[in-house]
Structure 1
Amino acid sequence: MWFWLSLVAILFWSGSDLFSKIGSKPDDKYSHWKMVIAVGLIMGIHAIVQVCTGTPFGIQDIFIYLPVSALYILAMILGYVGLRYVVLSESTPICNSSGAVAALLCFIFLHQTMELLQFIAVALISIGIFSLSVLEKKQADEERRLQGIVPDKKYTSSFIALFFPIFYCFIDGLGTFSDALVLDKYIQEDSANIAYEFTFLFLAFVALFYLLVIKKQKIVLSKEKPKFVAGICETAGQFAYIYALGDNAIVAAPLISSYCVFSVLWARLFLKEKLTLKQYLAIFAATAGIILLGAGGF
């Protein structure tokens, strides 16, 4: 079951990336805050519906799951900071390796293992993700060069340029591993998902207070529709992800991380972004790994 749940997570999370890109406005410096609000509100509504329909949940679940939620939220914040200061785009290959980090941690500390066919498939997926991220970085560098954009050297040629993406990769991978650990020993998937959604709802209220009260910004909901669609996709992806992770974390983690590959593909299909032959080959490698997992009956 974890395989099909992983595919659902990939579909919705890549969709979330697509609509986030559509909804992002380069001239709106508060766009990321509004995205947090949209995602948090959708997740909060979903959590309330689950509780009202009898899904087991207690306030203590929020605190049990809080360390995992904190790691995911920290990774999200690091991602936003990195995008703002060009750090992540300068070191995309490292950052996109968090699925492999999570799998390694599951192997070392949880003693989870893969069958040979699974290992080959995961290797293909990881190669595809890494190759595509390298190609994206080169493409982004070339676009900045043509536009005459020169990133601050302290974000590209200093200690922070190396430390930041490694720290992001470790935190994101540690979050996934911690998720697997907590789901294995302390909390059920449905309760954990609700706990995370309520935590994100709290963040939405914080972001809302920041924009409306502190920054005196106006939010026109009718102009933020893509963000709310992205929030729906993010919520659906998270729901499938946590059950896939609870079932088989060591394989599901690197598999689901391939959603970034499909984000690029959707951008080509719907936003008409151009891809090179090498990028198509990277997408093919990741897709071949996914097909191999499916064909293996996993």
Structure 2
Amino acid sequence: MEMIVKQIVETMCGIVECHADKPRTPTIVPGLVLHQMETSINPIHALYHPRVCIILRGGKTVSLGHERFHVDQSTFLLVTVDLPVASQVFKADNGKSHLALTLDLDRTMLADVLQRLPPHQTPTSPPAGIIASELTRSLLEPFARLLNLLDNPDEVEFIRPLIVQEIHYRLARTGLGERLGQFAWSGSHLWQIGKATSWIKANYKEPMRIEELSEMAGMSVTSFHRHFKAVTLMTPIQYRTQVRLQEARRMLISERAAAGTAGVAVGYDSQSQFSRDYKRMFGAPPASDAARLVRTI
């Protein structure tokens, strides 16, 4: 890492440490969230929304389907569709806390930026909805200026849109134009699959028919299956299962729900199937897993 980049990262770390008082800290800058972890932790299952993730210290591994994506100070993570993932964060080699930030993607702003750039050829199949890519100085610098707004709150309303527009421009110039175009343009394959994932998230408790989902996406059943897996790296059934199990785990921990109650609440007809799926995903039966997590809170 070149010296000037190291200096930029060190300054950004200082700002994050000053403003992040918990593992996940929303900020006065809309869409910007700070992350600080004092210890390396076991995988956290969460639903990622379209965003950019910058690691300032330490590292992170994100698992989706059978794929794993590792990000550190040299890379950034781009997510272009809602995805149920498992992520594990790591402290820095010197023992210092893990520091990161995320910024939500703005579909309207990105579409405006892409309209001003040379067009990219539309791929025949949509790229996966997540990728780790090289973090360049030209992309890091506007993120540093965005962080500086935390110490200048009076400037947020005017300056933030200008910096975020530059960030979207820099993203488009990193060679990810096709992926970003799929996210920005209505009618793209990614947009069509996004309609289906949005329905699954909102209706995960209900019966699901692939024919209805494919019609919703405007595709044949065969095309829908192919494109859905290309984007999410899993099948529609696997996607729904992960969303269901994440919600069940939340109920077990935050609401202290019984395992049977949680399983029924998220749409399972069979308690044994719920327990099998839960153990496969989280490594322990529902009651045991919840008891362990509650003890660590």
The TM-score normalised by the length of structure 1 is 0.23
The TM-score normalised by the length of structure 2 is 0.24
More strand by share: 2
